[in-house]
Amino acid sequence: MRRRIRLTGRRQLPRSSVDVRVTEVGEKRVVSLVIVNHDCFSRMPETARIKLRLFENKFSETLDFGTLGKPKATAEVKNSAFSVPTCQLRVVATDGEQKGLLLGSTNTWNLKAGGSDEGEQASESILLFLPQDISPRAWKLDIRDDDYPVVYIDKRIPDPRTWARNDPVFLSCVLPAIIREVFEEILQAGSPPEQAWAKDWMAWADTLMPGKPPPWNDGRPQKLSWLDDLLDSFCHRHDMLGRLVGKIEREIAA
Protein backbone atom coordinates (compact mmCIF):
# COMPACT_ATOMS: atom_id res chain seq x y z
CA MET A 1 0.00 0.00 0.00
CA ARG A 2 1.32 3.43 -0.96
CA ARG A 3 1.71 5.89 1.91
CA ARG A 4 1.68 9.63 1.47
CA ILE A 5 4.31 11.81 3.12
CA ARG A 6 2.92 15.03 4.57
CA LEU A 7 5.04 18.10 3.78
CA THR A 8 3.95 20.66 6.41
CA GLY A 9 6.87 22.28 8.25
CA ARG A 10 9.62 20.71 6.15
CA ARG A 11 13.13 21.98 6.92
CA GLN A 12 15.55 22.61 4.05
CA LEU A 13 18.68 20.54 4.74
CA PRO A 14 22.05 21.34 3.13
CA ARG A 15 23.60 18.56 1.09
CA SER A 16 26.79 19.05 3.11
CA SER A 17 24.96 17.77 6.21
CA VAL A 18 25.61 14.20 5.04
CA ASP A 19 28.38 12.39 3.21
CA VAL A 20 26.89 10.01 0.64
CA ARG A 21 29.04 7.63 -1.40
CA VAL A 22 28.35 4.75 -3.74
CA THR A 23 30.73 1.84 -4.33
CA GLU A 24 30.68 -1.33 -6.39
CA VAL A 25 31.03 -4.52 -4.34
CA GLY A 26 31.22 -7.36 -6.83
CA GLU A 27 28.00 -7.13 -8.78
CA LYS A 28 26.30 -5.15 -6.01
CA ARG A 29 26.06 -1.38 -5.68
CA VAL A 30 26.21 -0.19 -2.07
CA VAL A 31 25.47 3.33 -0.85
CA SER A 32 26.96 4.60 2.41
CA LEU A 33 25.55 7.57 4.32
CA VAL A 34 27.18 9.38 7.25
CA ILE A 35 25.77 12.43 9.05
CA VAL A 36 28.57 15.00 9.22
CA ASN A 37 26.61 17.94 10.63
CA HIS A 38 24.39 16.75 13.47
CA ASP A 39 23.23 20.29 14.22
CA CYS A 40 21.06 20.20 11.09
CA PHE A 41 19.00 17.39 12.67
CA SER A 42 19.09 18.56 16.30
CA ARG A 43 15.39 19.43 16.57
CA MET A 44 14.20 16.21 14.96
CA PRO A 45 13.16 13.16 17.02
CA GLU A 46 15.57 10.24 17.20
CA THR A 47 12.80 7.97 15.88
CA ALA A 48 12.67 9.86 12.53
CA ARG A 49 13.72 7.68 9.61
CA ILE A 50 16.53 8.57 7.23
CA LYS A 51 15.64 7.88 3.61
CA LEU A 52 17.53 8.43 0.37
CA ARG A 53 15.31 8.55 -2.71
CA LEU A 54 16.94 7.59 -6.03
CA PHE A 55 15.35 8.27 -9.40
CA GLU A 56 16.50 8.16 -13.00
CA ASN A 57 14.38 8.18 -16.15
CA LYS A 58 11.24 6.23 -15.19
CA PHE A 59 12.83 4.28 -12.33
CA SER A 60 12.87 5.13 -8.63
CA GLU A 61 13.94 3.47 -5.39
CA THR A 62 14.07 4.56 -1.76
CA LEU A 63 16.92 3.41 0.49
CA ASP A 64 16.37 3.17 4.25
CA PHE A 65 19.23 4.19 6.56
CA GLY A 66 17.48 3.55 9.86
CA THR A 67 16.62 6.31 12.30
CA LEU A 68 18.45 9.37 13.58
CA GLY A 69 18.90 7.58 16.89
CA LYS A 70 20.07 4.31 15.31
CA PRO A 71 21.36 5.08 11.81
CA LYS A 72 22.45 2.40 9.34
CA ALA A 73 25.77 2.97 7.59
CA THR A 74 24.97 1.32 4.26
CA ALA A 75 22.11 0.22 2.02
CA GLU A 76 22.15 -1.85 -1.16
CA VAL A 77 20.68 -0.53 -4.41
CA LYS A 78 18.36 -3.17 -5.84
CA ASN A 79 17.58 -1.53 -9.18
CA SER A 80 20.29 -2.44 -11.71
CA ALA A 81 18.92 0.04 -14.28
CA PHE A 82 20.49 3.05 -12.52
CA SER A 83 23.60 4.60 -14.11
CA VAL A 84 23.94 7.92 -12.30
CA PRO A 85 20.67 8.43 -10.46
CA THR A 86 19.49 11.70 -8.99
CA CYS A 87 19.07 11.41 -5.23
CA GLN A 88 17.43 13.33 -2.40
CA LEU A 89 17.81 12.93 1.36
CA ARG A 90 14.54 12.86 3.33
CA VAL A 91 13.90 12.64 7.07
CA VAL A 92 10.40 11.40 7.93
CA ALA A 93 8.59 11.25 11.29
CA THR A 94 7.45 7.74 12.22
CA ASP A 95 5.31 8.09 15.34
CA GLY A 96 2.97 10.34 17.30
CA GLU A 97 0.88 13.10 15.77
CA GLN A 98 3.66 13.86 13.29
CA LYS A 99 3.70 10.34 11.80
CA GLY A 100 4.30 10.56 8.06
CA LEU A 101 5.45 14.19 8.25
CA LEU A 102 8.43 15.12 6.09
CA LEU A 103 10.64 16.85 8.65
CA GLY A 104 13.46 17.83 6.30
CA SER A 105 14.91 17.25 2.85
CA THR A 106 17.77 18.36 0.64
CA ASN A 107 17.85 19.52 -2.94
CA THR A 108 18.56 16.77 -5.44
CA TRP A 109 22.02 15.86 -6.75
CA ASN A 110 23.66 13.24 -8.94
CA LEU A 111 24.90 10.15 -7.14
CA LYS A 112 28.19 9.25 -8.80
CA ALA A 113 30.15 6.06 -8.31
CA GLY A 114 33.33 6.54 -6.31
CA GLY A 115 32.62 10.06 -5.09
CA SER A 116 30.68 12.23 -2.69
CA ASP A 117 27.71 14.44 -3.43
CA GLU A 118 29.70 17.67 -3.56
CA GLY A 119 33.19 18.94 -4.20
CA GLU A 120 35.68 17.57 -6.68
CA GLN A 121 33.58 14.70 -8.05
CA ALA A 122 30.55 16.89 -8.65
CA SER A 123 32.51 19.57 -10.50
CA GLU A 124 34.79 17.41 -12.64
CA SER A 125 32.72 18.05 -15.76
CA ILE A 126 29.72 20.10 -16.85
CA LEU A 127 28.57 17.24 -19.09
CA LEU A 128 28.65 13.59 -18.03
CA PHE A 129 28.93 10.70 -20.51
CA LEU A 130 27.65 7.34 -19.28
CA PRO A 131 27.00 3.96 -20.93
CA GLN A 132 23.45 2.63 -20.68
CA ASP A 133 21.08 0.37 -22.58
CA ILE A 134 19.16 2.94 -24.67
CA SER A 135 18.78 0.86 -27.87
CA PRO A 136 17.68 1.58 -30.58
CA ARG A 137 19.13 5.07 -29.96
CA ALA A 138 22.90 5.65 -29.93
CA TRP A 139 22.77 8.60 -27.52
CA LYS A 140 20.25 10.38 -25.31
CA LEU A 141 20.46 13.64 -23.38
CA ASP A 142 19.02 13.93 -19.86
CA ILE A 143 18.73 17.55 -18.61
CA ARG A 144 18.09 17.62 -14.86
CA ASP A 145 16.73 20.41 -12.71
CA ASP A 146 19.42 20.49 -10.02
CA ASP A 147 22.51 18.87 -11.47
CA TYR A 148 24.69 18.57 -14.55
CA PRO A 149 23.22 17.15 -17.76
CA VAL A 150 23.97 13.52 -18.61
CA VAL A 151 24.54 12.06 -22.07
CA TYR A 152 23.77 8.35 -22.19
CA ILE A 153 25.67 6.37 -24.82
CA ASP A 154 24.35 2.93 -25.73
CA LYS A 155 26.49 0.33 -24.00
CA ARG A 156 26.76 -1.75 -27.19
CA ILE A 157 29.18 0.88 -28.53
CA PRO A 158 32.74 -0.20 -27.63
CA ASP A 159 34.27 2.07 -24.95
CA PRO A 160 31.38 4.56 -25.23
CA ARG A 161 32.92 7.31 -23.07
CA THR A 162 36.09 7.44 -25.20
CA TRP A 163 34.04 7.31 -28.39
CA ALA A 164 31.87 10.25 -27.32
CA ARG A 165 34.87 12.36 -26.33
CA ASN A 166 37.10 11.61 -29.33
CA ASP A 167 35.14 10.49 -32.38
CA PRO A 168 35.17 13.32 -34.99
CA VAL A 169 31.66 12.47 -36.22
CA PHE A 170 30.18 12.63 -32.71
CA LEU A 171 32.13 15.76 -31.79
CA SER A 172 31.27 17.71 -34.94
CA CYS A 173 27.69 16.54 -35.54
CA VAL A 174 26.22 15.45 -32.21
CA LEU A 175 28.00 17.53 -29.56
CA PRO A 176 26.89 20.91 -30.99
CA ALA A 177 23.30 19.64 -30.99
CA ILE A 178 23.67 18.63 -27.33
CA ILE A 179 25.11 22.04 -26.43
CA ARG A 180 22.25 23.77 -28.26
CA GLU A 181 19.60 21.74 -26.41
CA VAL A 182 21.16 22.48 -23.02
CA PHE A 183 21.40 26.21 -23.66
CA GLU A 184 17.88 26.39 -25.07
CA GLU A 185 16.76 24.97 -21.70
CA ILE A 186 18.81 27.60 -19.84
CA LEU A 187 17.62 30.47 -22.02
CA GLN A 188 13.96 29.60 -21.51
CA ALA A 189 14.13 31.10 -18.03
CA GLY A 190 14.50 34.63 -19.40
CA SER A 191 17.01 35.63 -16.71
CA PRO A 192 20.46 34.50 -15.50
CA PRO A 193 20.17 31.03 -13.95
CA GLU A 194 20.21 30.27 -10.25
CA GLN A 195 21.08 26.56 -10.51
CA ALA A 196 24.75 25.83 -9.87
CA TRP A 197 25.11 23.59 -12.93
CA ALA A 198 23.60 26.22 -15.24
CA LYS A 199 25.90 28.90 -13.81
CA ASP A 200 28.86 26.65 -14.69
CA TRP A 201 27.55 26.32 -18.24
CA MET A 202 27.23 30.10 -18.51
CA ALA A 203 30.80 30.47 -17.19
CA TRP A 204 31.93 28.04 -19.90
CA ALA A 205 30.08 30.09 -22.53
CA ASP A 206 31.95 33.18 -21.33
CA THR A 207 35.27 31.47 -22.13
CA LEU A 208 34.11 31.17 -25.75
CA MET A 209 32.57 34.65 -26.03
CA PRO A 210 34.07 36.77 -23.23
CA GLY A 211 31.88 39.65 -22.13
CA LYS A 212 28.96 38.64 -24.36
CA PRO A 213 26.18 37.28 -22.14
CA PRO A 214 22.85 36.24 -23.62
CA PRO A 215 20.35 39.04 -24.36
CA TRP A 216 18.14 37.99 -21.43
CA ASN A 217 15.68 40.86 -21.89
CA ASP A 218 15.26 40.36 -25.63
CA GLY A 219 13.04 37.96 -27.55
CA ARG A 220 13.65 34.40 -28.68
CA PRO A 221 15.18 35.37 -32.08
CA GLN A 222 17.92 37.39 -30.37
CA LYS A 223 18.64 34.59 -27.90
CA LEU A 224 18.88 32.01 -30.69
CA SER A 225 21.20 34.34 -32.62
CA TRP A 226 23.44 34.48 -29.52
CA LEU A 227 23.34 30.68 -29.32
CA ASP A 228 24.31 30.37 -33.00
CA ASP A 229 27.31 32.62 -32.34
CA LEU A 230 28.25 30.47 -29.34
CA LEU A 231 28.15 27.26 -31.40
CA ASP A 232 30.20 28.89 -34.17
CA SER A 233 32.80 29.95 -31.59
CA PHE A 234 32.89 26.44 -30.09
CA CYS A 235 33.26 24.70 -33.46
CA HIS A 236 35.88 27.20 -34.63
CA ARG A 237 37.99 26.93 -31.46
CA HIS A 238 38.08 23.12 -31.62
CA ASP A 239 38.24 22.88 -35.43
CA MET A 240 35.24 20.54 -35.53
CA LEU A 241 34.79 20.76 -39.30
CA GLY A 242 38.49 20.14 -39.87
CA ARG A 243 38.39 17.01 -37.70
CA LEU A 244 35.41 15.66 -39.61
CA VAL A 245 36.92 16.40 -43.03
CA GLY A 246 40.21 14.78 -41.96
CA LYS A 247 38.42 11.60 -40.88
CA ILE A 248 36.49 11.39 -44.13
CA GLU A 249 39.63 11.95 -46.22
CA ARG A 250 41.54 9.25 -44.31
CA GLU A 251 38.71 6.76 -44.84
CA ILE A 252 38.57 7.53 -48.57
CA ALA A 253 42.33 7.15 -48.90
CA ALA A 254 42.40 3.84 -47.00
Give the domain ranges of the chain. Answer: 11-110, 128-253
Q: Where does the pLDDT of residue 87 fall: very low under 50, low under 70, confident under 90, or very high at 90 and above?
A: confident
**For the whole model, what pTM was predicted?**
0.60
Measured distance CA(50)–CA(67) in Å, rounded: 6
Query: 130, 34 in Cβ contact below 8 A?
Result: no
Q: Where does the pLDDT of residue 123 fall: very low under 50, low under 70, confident under 90, or very high at 90 and above?
A: very low
For residue 180, the model assigns a pLDDT of: 96
Measured distance CA(149)–CA(145) in Å, rounded: 9
User: Going by C-beta distance under 8 Å and a sequence separation of 6 or more, which residues neighbour residue 19?
Assistant: 32, 33, 34, 36, 116, 117
SS3 content of the chain, % helix, strand, coil (to 5): 30, 30, 40
pLDDT tens, position by position, 50-78: 999 998 877 889 999 999 999 999 999 99
**What is the arithmetic mean of pLDDT over 236-247?**
92
Q: Which bin fits 100, alpha (ψ -120 to 50), beta or left (φ > 0)?
A: left
Q: Where does the pLDDT of residue 9 fall: very low under 50, low under 70, confident under 90, or very high at 90 and above?
A: low
End-to-end CA distance of the chain: 63
Asked whether residue 117 carries a pLDDT value surpassing 70, the answer given is no
**What is the arithmetic mean of pLDDT over 148-161?**
89
pLDDT tens, position by position, 128-154: 888 888 999 999 999 988 778 989 999
pLDDT tens, position by position, 176-216: 999 999 999 999 988 999 888 899 899 999 999 999 999 99
Architecture of domain 11-110: Sandwich (2.60)
For residue 2, the model assigns a pLDDT of: 42
Asked whether residue 21 carries a pLDDT value surpassing 60, the answer given is yes
Asked whether residue 171 carries a pLDDT value surpassing 80, the answer given is yes
For residue 112, the model assigns a pLDDT of: 65
Measured distance CA(2)–CA(98) in Å, rounded: 18
Average pLDDT, the chain: 85
Select the more confidently predicted residue: 98 or 228.
228
**Which range scores top for mean pLDDT: 16-30, 93-107, 122-136, 238-252?**
238-252
Measured distance CA(25)–CA(231) in Å, rounded: 42
For residue 25, the model assigns a pLDDT of: 74
For residue 6, the model assigns a pLDDT of: 43
For residue 216, the model assigns a pLDDT of: 93
